[in-house]
Structure 1
Amino acid sequence: MFYIQYHDSQGGSQHIIKELRVNDKILGREVRVVGEKGEQLGVMTVAQAKELARRNSVDLVEVAPTSVPPVCRLMDYGKYRYEQTKKEREAKKGQKLSLLKEIRLRPKIGAHDYEAKVRSIRKQLEDGDKVKVTIMFRGREITHSELGIKILKRAADELSDIANVEGQPTLLGSRIHLMLVPKPSNKVKTKEGQTDNAEIKNS
């Protein structure tokens, strides 16, 4: 038994699918065979087990490679894989995913633009996403970093009804970041078809 790891078409989350040895990929000398309905068919050589599968128009699938001897089952492997994929899709339908989004502000932002940014942050939080609020400085503006911290504190206070602050404001180069996360009571939007990994979108 081994595992295949791959990325989805959007380059997002990784899915792990169990891959079983089937038919000619099964090695060894003897195997314990289980029938299609779970009945015990006994221990036989691999060649005999493959022939039994061929006569019944099914596949010989190794389901317990670490057993002594390994356990193989007679089944329609194509149908099995289809059902497993279908179950995975069904499980994802109800999965609640959270994205990380970034909203950028300037230290000398005007009142109108500030209000628009706060509305945008609120919408992302209501959708269940984390928001990284970033103050961007230019040139010598960084010498007045307290202006940026003041804006971040103001925004956090105005959004305190739906968001919690995660950590403290962080200065990285010419930017100050503050992370806001939705409060547990907020309704989290289900995002079908999105990736499991957090991704950053800029406003």
Structure 2
Amino acid sequence: MIKNEKIKASEVHVTGINGEDLGIMSTREALALAKQYKVDLVCTSLLTSPPPCKLIGAGAAKAEAQQDKKKSGKSPDKRKVKEIRLTFQMEDHDRDTKQAQAERILKKGDSVKLVIQVHGSKEGAAGKEWAEQLCQALAEFGTKTTGVQVSGKQVVVQLDPKV
């Protein structure tokens, strides 16, 4: 966050305390205006010319920066993909436990990759069917991002949390 005298641009596009557009002015004028209102001049982006700046109270600038950081905390690109391994020969109770674990992960906001270990083509088809059943059971918590993939000795499907 660049503010006050650290802004090196000769001109800035200023937004007032209440969000009103004050237009383009020299950085000196904008700093004088900030001192007059006893607030900070904060640069919001360096990608445009002249850079957009806001007049913000000192505490509000920090709070806004923390809020932006908090919002970006669970963005889709920051999601973790948790892998849950299952075997086709599992008992029903163990399957239910793994399903509950997947629910918890999806509720938390992370993605789940279900990997079902199978042996042979007959189990592969049954494993795909089981993966579809799991996806339907977890439908209220997440959506499939990939189709059910059967490759050799495993069946894989990934679920992302519903936003």
- Give yes or no for the alignment of 1:23 onto 2:1: no
Counterpart of 1:82?
Answer: 63
Counterpart of 2:137?
Answer: 162
What displacement does 1:58 show?
1.5
Cα distance in structure 1, aligned partners of 2:95 and 2:70: 36
1:118/1:155 contact within 8 Å kept: no
Counterpart of 1:179?
Answer: 157
Higher helix content, 1 or 2 = 2
Correspondence 1:87-166 to 2 at 5 A? 89=70, 100-105=82-87, 109=89, 113-124=90-101, 126-127=103-104, 128=106, 130-135=112-117, 145-146=120-121, 148-149=123-124, 152-153=127-128, 155-156=130-131, 159=134, 162=137, 166=147
Instruction: Specify the code of the residue in structure 1 equivalent to 2:37.
Output: N
RMSD: 4.5
**Cα distance change of structure 1 residues 86 and 148 upon mapping to structure 2, 3 Å threshold:** same
1:35/1:73 contact within 8 Å kept: yes
Deviations 1:36-86 (CA, angstroms, capped at 9, x unpaired): 23456565432343233234322112346535x544332225413314534
Cα distance in structure 2, aligned partners of 1:71 and 1:157: 50
**Cα distance change of structure 1 residues 26 and 152 upon mapping to structure 2, 3 Å threshold:** same
Identity %: 25
Secondary structure of 2:148 counterpart: strand
| TM-score normalised by L of structure 2 | 0.56
- Give yes or no for the alignment of 1:52 onto 2:29: no
| TM-score normalised by L of structure 1 | 0.48
Cα distance in structure 1, aligned partners of 2:130 and 2:29: 72
Deviations 1:94-143 (CA, angstroms, capped at 9, x unpaired): xxx895431232x7x4xxx432332234324555564513317xxxxxxx
Larger Rg: 1
- Give yes or no for the alignment of 1:35 onto 2:16: yes
2:41/2:54 contact within 8 Å kept: yes
